Structure 1
Amino acid sequence: MAEKQDETGERWSQDVTEHSDALDLEDDVFTWDDPARIAASLKESAESSGRRKGTPYQSAMSMLTFYVNRAGKNLPQQQLDVLERAKDELRTLFGRN
């Protein structure tokens, strides 16, 4: 089943990632190669957002998991590994080991 696209040709998951109503993400955050930097950015975004529905931890982890699940099959293994390590970093930053 093909992923739905909007009138601009963007996939809906790309639109969610770029225009999330819950978090203001730094540009290209999921393309960075430093898991600690990705986690720190997501934590900052989640803590500063007044629009999130859950806790900062839930919002940050949900956005990261959403991206991995939607883009995972198209990501190079190296970037997928970085993002999976970013989940561990995020847990550490929030004291959720």
Structure 2
Amino acid sequence: MTGIGLATEYVWVYIHGYIVVYMKTMIDLNDEALALAAKELGTVTKKDTVNAALEFVARRRERIEALLDDPFALGVGPDIADSDIMREARR
């Protein structure tokens, strides 16, 4: 396929020997939740709001996993492994 070809679910674009596929997904959105999310995220368009929310959730998951992988991140210091210090702390 050369040039721009249109189909019902996607558009093919031929650029310098490469085929790039653009897809659009139709979804039903909760308008009230979308408005609240837009206000919280400071976005204007539906597309920007959805993308910002997806990015926020993805980064949040990465931050949570990083915290769970680091034993010192949750307030547990190197003293946790020192039995003498821990014994005194329990008194």
- Superposition TM-score tier, normalisation by shorter sequence: under 0.3
Structure ID, larger Rg: 2
Higher relative contact order (CA 8 A, sep 6+): 1
